[in-house]
Amino acid sequence: MSTCQVYRLGLVEYQKAWNLQNQLADEIARGEHPPTLLLLEHPHVYTFGRRGQAEHLLWEQARLQEQQVDVHWVDRGGDVTYHGPGQLVGYPLLPLGEVQPDPASGNPRIPQVDYIAYLRNLEKTIIKALAQLGVPAGQVPGQTGVWVQPDVASRCVHCPPHLLQAPSKIASIGVKVDAKGVSRHGFALNVMPDMNYWQGIVACGLENQNQISLEYIFNQPPDMERVVHELLTVFSQVFSYELELHEGILLI
C-alpha cells in the first residue's frame, strides 16, 4: 500500500495554502514528494472557481471589510463557496493517473471517467465519515458535494425551519486536476463554522441552496479531533493509502 503524508496545518490564510498546494503538486508530479493530504482551516474567505460569476457575491466591499472576509478567484471547478474557522478543509494532492490528449482541445488531461470517479470517492469518504459520527448523508443527483436530507434535519437541534424543506449541503467539493494528473483543491466540511457568512454569497451559484453543519445537527457536536479521526480512517480505506500524520508542521 502506498503512503500518503497528512499535514495538519491549523488556521492558514487562503493564499498561503494555495501557494503550498501548487508547490507540493509540482513536486509530486516530478516524483520528489509523496501523495499528500493537507487538513486545515481558513480565516473567513469567499473563493470563486472557474465557473464563478461576480454577481454571486452579495456583500458589498464595505460589508466584506467589516466582516473581515477575503475574496479569491481560483482555478478549481465550480462557482463560489465560503471557508472559515470551524470548517474542516482538505486538500488531497494525489497522482490520479496517466494524462491523455483531450479530444476537443488536444491539451493533456486525465480521462473524464477518472476525474468523475475521484469526485465520487471524495463524496464517499465524507459520507462514510459522517455515518461514523451518526449523521446519515448522501449525494444529490446532478450535484457535487454531500447533503443531509430534510428528514435528518427534522431531528436537528439548532436547524432553522427552512432546512426542513429541502436537502442541505454539509460538505462542498471543488477540485482541479493539473496537466500532469495531480489533484489540487478538495473539500470543505461544515463542522462548527459561523453559518451567517453563507448569506454573503449565492453558494455554488444555486439560489436558495441550504447549508447545514454538525453544530446545527447535534446538541453536543463532535469536536474537530473526532471529525478528523473518522475522516482519515475512511480516506485511507477509500483511496488505499497508508497515512503518515504530521501534527502542527507548517510547510509554508
Encode pLDDT of 108-117 as tens digits: 677 776 889 9
pLDDT tens column, 155-213? 777 777 777 777 899 999 999 999 889 999 999 999 999 999 999 888 876 777 889 99
Superfamily of domain 2-247: Bira Bifunctional Protein; Domain 2 (3.30.930.10)
Q: Is 204 a catalytic residue?
A: yes
Each domain of the chain, given as residue ranges in start order, spans: 2-247
Which of the four pLDDT bands, split at 50, 70 and 90, describes residue 42? very high
Burial 54-63 (b: 16+ CB within 10 A, else e): eebbebeeee
Which H helix or E strand runs over 176?
strand 168-177
C-alpha cell at 64: 466584506
Lowest mean pLDDT of 15-24, 118-127, 155-164, name the range. Answer: 155-164
Average pLDDT in the 59-71 region?
95
Which has more confidence, 105 or 9? 9
Lowest mean pLDDT of 49-53, 69-73, 121-125, name the range. Answer: 49-53
Q: What is the pLDDT of residue 136?
A: 94
Which H helix or E strand runs over 131?
helix 112-132
Lowest mean pLDDT of 24-38, 88-102, 117-131, name the range. Answer: 88-102
Average pLDDT in the 143-166 region?
80
Cβ within 8 Å of residue 98, ≥6 positions away: 110, 181
Mean of per-residue pLDDT scores for the chain: 90
Which has more confidence, 12 or 154? 12
Q: What is the pLDDT of residue 113?
A: 64
pLDDT > 70 in the chain, percent: 93
pTM attached to this predicted model: 0.92
Which H helix or E strand runs over 228?
helix 224-239
